Structure formats: structure tokens, C-alpha cells
Amino acid sequence: MRPTPDELITHVRRVLRDVVEPELTSSYARSRLAEIRAALAQIPWNEAGLRLADASDTLRDLLLKCRTWIESDEARKKHFADSLPAFAGLPEAVPEDFAACNEIRARYDELVIELIGPLEDWLLTGKDDGTGAELRRELLSAVVS
């Protein structure tokens, strides 16, 4: 596929800089053009979809690990009782297109949000053996990947 998405965006940015910008007389328009060029440079266009899918897979695996961790201990099962039903509808990460992938990722993110309060509270109980703290670190890392 040529031009690749990256190539297309790179050269559109170049044309905006070399051809369009010199013709602009309005400082407002020049500022907007600079912002457009900067915004276009922020996305890794070739990998955006693939990265989203990979990140969703990683997050799903981690959420399944959280469920196993909760269910493997009676005290944790009791503490996280209100959160467990949310795991039931965890969708498979096999999206057909970008929109579906984005939708699935949003569902995973919602479940992470559901876990924040109970997990932070659990860590304050003094009952954690270190595995909850480790899951906290992993989740915080996964949600920004």
C-alpha cells in the first residue's frame, strides 16, 4: 500500500508548510495551520489500528488475570463481590474494524474504572500479599498502552 498512511500524512504536512503557509496572511489562519500540522504529527498512522488491537488484547488478558486473582481467595471474593458481575460480559477482542476495536477497548476501560475503588480500598485493608499492588501497577501501565 503506497502511499502508506504515514507517507500520506508526512507529505501533506510538508505541502501545508511549504506551499500553503507562505500564502497565508492571517495570523489566525497561520496559527491554526501550525496546530493542524502538529496534530497530524502526533499519531503513528501506520500503527494506530494495530496498536489499539494489541493494547486491547493486553488489557483483556490482564482483566482476566484480575478475575482469577479475585476468585482465588475468599476474602477477596467478598471484598470485590460487587465488581465480579461486570467480568461476565467481557467481550472477546476479535474486532472486525477500527470502530469495533475502539468499542471493545472502551468496554475494558469501563471495567478498569469499576475496579479502581475496590482495589484501592483493598490495598488499604492491610490484607494484600503484594499481588494486588502488582496488579495495580500492571493495570496503570496497560491503560496507557
Partner 1 sequence: MSGSPEAESVEVVGQRLRSFLAARNAGAEGVAIEGLQRSGNGSSRENWPFDASWRQEGSAVRRKLLLRRDPPSAVVDTGRATEFALLKALESTPVPAPVAYWLDDEGTELLRPSMIVDRHPGRAHRAVLRDKNPLGLAEPVRAELAENLCELLAQVHRVDVAEAGLLEVLPSPTPDPATAELDRWERLLDDAELEPQPVLRWTLRWLRDHVPAPPERLVLVHGDFRPANVLVHNGAVEVLLDWELAHLGDPLDDLGWYCAPVYTREHFIPGVWEQDDFLKRYRELTGTAVPADALLFWQVLALFRLAVIALQGIRIFCAGETDRPAAPPTALLRLLAGIVSENPGKARHAPDPR
Binding positions for partner 1, rule: CB under 8 A:
26-32, 35-36, 39-40, 42-43, 102, 106, 109-110, 112-113, 116-117, 120, 123-124, 133, 136-137, 139-141, 143-144
Taking the complex as a whole, the smallest distance from the CB of residue 51 to partner 1 amounts, in Å, to 11
Q: Is the peptide bond before 44 cis (omega within 30 degrees of 0)?
A: no
CB neighbour burial string for 88-114, b if at least 16 within 10 angstroms, e if fewer? eeeeebebeeeeebeebbebbeebbeb
Residue 31 near residue 23 (C-beta atoms within 8 A)? no
> Helix 27-41 to helix 5-15 angle, to the nearest 10 degrees?
160
Residue 54 near residue 63 (C-beta atoms within 8 A)? no
Of residues 28 and 74, the one with the C-beta less far from partner 1: 28
Of residues 68 and 102, the one with the C-beta less far from partner 1: 102
Taking the complex as a whole, the smallest distance from the CB of residue 108 to partner 1 amounts, in Å, to 9
Taking the complex as a whole, the smallest distance from the CB of residue 59 to partner 1 amounts, in Å, to 9
Of residues 2 and 28, the one with the C-beta less far from partner 1: 28
Taking the complex as a whole, the smallest distance from the CB of residue 84 to partner 1 amounts, in Å, to 18
